[in-house]
Structures are given as structure tokens and as C-alpha cells.
Amino acid sequence: MSVLRIVLGDQLSMDISALKGLDRAADIVLMMEVMEETTYVPHHKQKIVLVLSAMRHFAEELRQIGVLVDYVALDTPDNSGSLSNEIQRAIARHAPDRLVVTEPGEWRVQTMAEGWEALTGLPVEIREDDRFFASRARFAAWARGRKLWRMEHFYHEMRREHEILMEQGGPAGGEWNFDAENRKKLPASTLVPARLRFAPNAVTRTVMALVEQRFGESFGEVEDFGWPVTRQDALRALHDFIAAGLPRFGDYQDAMKAGAPFLFHALLAPALNLGLLSPREVCKEAVAAWRAGAAPLNAVEGFVRQILGWREYVRGVYWRLMPAYENSNALQATRKLPAFYWTGETPMRCLREAVGSTSRYAYSHHIQRLMVTGNFALLAGIAPREIERWYLAVYADAFEWVEMPNTLGMAVFADGGKMASKPYAASGAYIDRMSDFCSGCHYDVKQKTGPDACPFNYSDSH
């Protein structure tokens, strides 16, 4: 009896459910790089490099412990370009008795997986993805019967259920949420720490060359690639954040500074979403730093809320509301996405900064996404599907289950309040208060009307 165990590109964990019970003498792990997955949106070059390099490193780690790995590289001869076709070809090579896969993270791939049994004629077991704090069923049980879904309510339940930042039956420090303390503007004199980046090794450089060859016209640059692509480097990135970022993360998590895209942010979402880190260990490390006196409670609670609260919540929303959710457009917005989202060529300095860092690093932090690129799309009436596909394409951490609700539910309020309580719309005054972007901008943030008025103030000037 042999099992073909399928490991997808965002399931790079040794303890992924598809690998449980693996027989190293008989079972085969199938991993596939296919054009279907690299082109369903025009992904940033660095995002493709990240996923493919991390997959190749993970495959080698499996081989090192004696696991049989059938790895289909993007440039493997006769690569059919699709997951389903490559599974059929692997079955022809190995003649397994059945297939096992962990439930995919995205709806379209879940739909594929549900069709593999009929396609192949073999039993297919789709196992729960137990890397999350809350299963899909757990969120559905919480949401059932509620007129309003609010992250804060769900977050409280998760805190209690998993006993994180709890003391004597209540929240540590006597408050569930310290967000009011986490909205400080970054003083000009504040030194921003140099964050740990990872020089590409030979495997990553090979992938970079392949991506430049195959996707040379795609958005973004690869020269500054520095994301962790192994479990070992992801742990180093976690420890760097705990030491260098977390102590001041809370105070300045909403701040923005020209030329400083990382500030005190975690930079862990790419590794988390690929499976190189687990949300449990990330929260555990942050809480341990607070208990050791190495980070204040407002910082640790704010970070834990992003992982245990928001990340789990948006995943639940995605699986509860798909597939209709992707077509949400409560505000009937219809404008096309402006070209400067791809080029960065705009007199608006805040947007230039956000798009520029996105092009260079496949990254901008959550306030730049929400209150600059997202806020502009909301105020300008950009069609939700246009901005949602852009976010999915350009960010290294963007997988549909986490990106889509953040875009449709929070950034542009396309779901009409199903996920968030209000539109996150703000004038230029907010950006001026939380950043140094308005200094030297072509537009005047103080003006409300006229040709020099900040477009965030004056809708007719877009």
C-alpha cells in the first residue's frame, strides 16, 4: 500500500496533516511548481521567488530525513502547467493506492482537490489544516446565528480558549485591547532598527534567474530579495522581531516614514503564510518576551491580536462567505485601477512611497495598505475586484484567504459591513498626522479644494 501525499506551496510544515502517518519506505510526497499557480494573477517577481525557493528548500529538508519526494520544477520537461494534470502524471509514475492532501488555503484550489477523486479514480483524503488556532468549523460555529460578526468578540473567545495573555480568568493588564496606546506618530529623532534580511543562497539565486527568464515583464524587482525561505531562517526572523521590533511595535504600529518601509513591524507574514512558522509559536514567543520584561503589554497584545485575532478571523470570514464573497461591491464602485498602482508614477508622495516599497520588497505594512493604497481606492470608487486582485498580486504574504477579506471587508468596505463596522476612510490629515509623506508632496494637505488640494481631501481632483 502506497500513498501519494500532496504538499502545496503554502503548506511547508513538517507537521502538516498530509504528512502524518507517512511511511518513508512506501509513500511519495508530491510537490509541484506549475504555471497555473504562478499566473492566475500577475504575481510580483519576489513573491514567485519566495514560494518556489521555499518549496525547493522544504523538499530538500524532506529528502534529508529519508522521505521520497517527487518534485516537479517549473522548468521540468513536460511540465503540464496545472496541479490536476501533474497529479495524474505522478499517479502514472508511482501507481499509488490513494491520495492524501491537507485542505487547500484558497477556494479555487479546494474546488480542484474535491474533483481529484473523480479525475483520478483513486480515493482522496482531504485532511483538516490544523496549523490554525480555529478550524473552519470552529469559526462557523461562532458565526452561526450572529447578526454581526466582529473580530473583537471572536478574539476574546480565542484568548480564553487558548489561554493566551490571560490572568486569573481575565485579560492580562485588565484590558482586552490596548489599541488606544498604539497610535503614536514616529518622532523624527527615533532610530529605526536595521532589520534582518537574508542573502539569497544558490537555490534562491537559481529561482531568481528562472523568474527573470519566465516573468521578466512582471511587476516588481528581485534585486533586494531578502525573505526567509527556510524554517531555520524564519526562526531567525522571529527572534529578530522579538528583540528589535516588538518592544516598540505597539507604540508605532500605525506610523509611516519615507524610506523606512519596515519600521518595527514583524515581517513574519510571508513565513507564517507559507508554513515556515506556526501562529502558536509566534504568539508564545511574544508573550514570553512580555513575561520576561523585554516588551511592554501594549506591544505584545497588539501583535497577538493580529495573529490570534485578526488572522484567524479573516480566514473564518473567507471560508464562511466564499465563493459569492469575491464579487462583493456594496458601494457600487466601478472605476478602473489607476496605472500608478503599477508604476508608482504619481505626484502623490504617499502613494509613490507605498508603491515604491511594494515594487522593491513585495511589502508595505498594514497601515500603508489600509490608509494609503486602500483608502485611495475607497475614496476614488475603484472597483473592488480591481484593487483586490492588485493586492493579491503584489505582496509576498498575499494568499487569497487572508488578502481578500482584508481588501473587500476592511480596505474598501465592499461587503457592506459584514466584516468591519465602518469604512476606513480618512482625509489627508490622517496621513499627515501619522507620517512624513506630506512634506514635499506636490499637493497641499491643508487645502480642501482647487488644483493643489490633496486628493484625499477633494474627491473631484482624482
pLDDT tens digits, residue range 311-362? Answer: 999 999 999 999 999 999 999 999 999 999 999 999 999 999 999 999 999 9
Q: What mean pLDDT, rounded, does the chain reach? A: 96
Q: Under DSSP, is residue 6 helix (H, G, I), strand (E, B) or coil? A: strand
Stretch 196-208: mean pLDDT, rounded? Answer: 98
pLDDT by residue (tens digit) across 70-106?
Answer: 999 999 999 999 999 999 999 999 999 999 999 999 9
DSSP character at residue 452: T
Q: Which three cell numbers stand for residue 194?
A: 536595521
Task: Please state at what angle helix 151-162 crosses helix 312-321, rounded to 10 degrees.
Answer: 120
Contacts of 250 (CB under 8 A, 6+ apart): 178, 181, 182, 296, 298, 299, 300, 301, 302, 303
Q: Under DSSP, is residue 3 helix (H, G, I), strand (E, B) or coil? A: strand
What is the C-alpha to C-alpha distance for residues 53 and 201, in angstroms, rounded to an integer?
Answer: 10
pLDDT band at 214 (very low <50, low <70, confident <90, very high): very high
Q: Which fold has domain 340-461?
A: DNA Cyclobutane Dipyrimidine Photolyase, subunit A; domain 3 (1.10.579)
What is the C-alpha to C-alpha distance for residues 307 and 303, in angstroms, rounded to an integer?
Answer: 7
Stretch 387-397: mean pLDDT, rounded? Answer: 98
pLDDT band at 406 (very low <50, low <70, confident <90, very high): very high
Q: In this predicted structure, what is the pLDDT of residue 280?
A: 98
Stretch 53-60: mean pLDDT, rounded? Answer: 98
pLDDT by residue (tens digit) across 247-261?
Answer: 999 999 999 999 999
SS3 content of the chain, % helix, strand, coil (to 5): 50, 5, 45
Q: In this predicted structure, what is the pLDDT of residue 157?
A: 96
What is the C-alpha to C-alpha distance for residues 216 and 211, in angstroms, rounded to an integer?
Answer: 7
For the chain, the domains span: 3-127, 136-321, 340-461
Share above pLDDT 70 across residues of the chain, in percent, rounded to a whole number:
99
Place of cell 506636490: 442
Question: What are the backbone angles phi and psi of residue 229, rounded to the nearest 5°?
Answer: -120, 5
Residue 68 has pLDDT above 80, yes or no: yes
Q: Under DSSP, is residue 424 helix (H, G, I), strand (E, B) or coil? A: coil
What is the C-alpha to C-alpha distance for residues 153 and 146, in angstroms, rounded to an integer?
Answer: 11
Q: Are 406 and 417 in contact (CB under 8 A)?
A: no
**Pairing between strand 98-102 and 124-127?**
parallel
Q: In this predicted structure, what is the pLDDT of residue 462?
A: 41
pLDDT by residue (tens digit) across 14-29?
Answer: 999 999 999 999 999 9
Q: Which three cell numbers stand for residue 40?
A: 492566475
DSSP of 198-260: ----HHHHHHHHHHHHHHTTSSS--TT-----SHHHHHHHHHHIIIIIHHHHHHHTT---TT-
Q: Which three cell numbers stand for residue 387?
A: 484593487
Residue 460 has pLDDT above 60, yes or no: no
Residue 440 has pLDDT above 70, yes or no: yes
Q: In this predicted structure, what is the pLDDT of residue 459?
A: 53
What is the C-alpha to C-alpha distance for residues 255 and 235, in angstroms, rounded to an integer?
Answer: 26
Nearest partner of 143 among 413, 418, 416, 417, judged by Cα: 418
What is the pTM for the complete model shown?
Answer: 0.95
Q: In this predicted structure, what is the pLDDT of residue 180?
A: 83
What is the C-alpha to C-alpha distance for residues 78 and 66, in angstroms, rounded to an integer?
Answer: 27
H or E element in which residue 171 lies: strand 170-171
Q: Which three cell numbers stand for residue 64?
A: 534529508
Helices (H), 322-451: 340-343, 349-361, 366-368, 375-380, 384-394, 400-405, 428-434
Q: In this predicted structure, what is the pLDDT of residue 382?
A: 97
Q: What is the CATH number of domain 3-127?
A: 3.40.50.620
Q: Are 71 and 56 in contact (CB under 8 A)?
A: yes
Q: In this predicted structure, what is the pLDDT of residue 461?
A: 39
Q: Which fold has domain 136-321?
A: 1.25.40
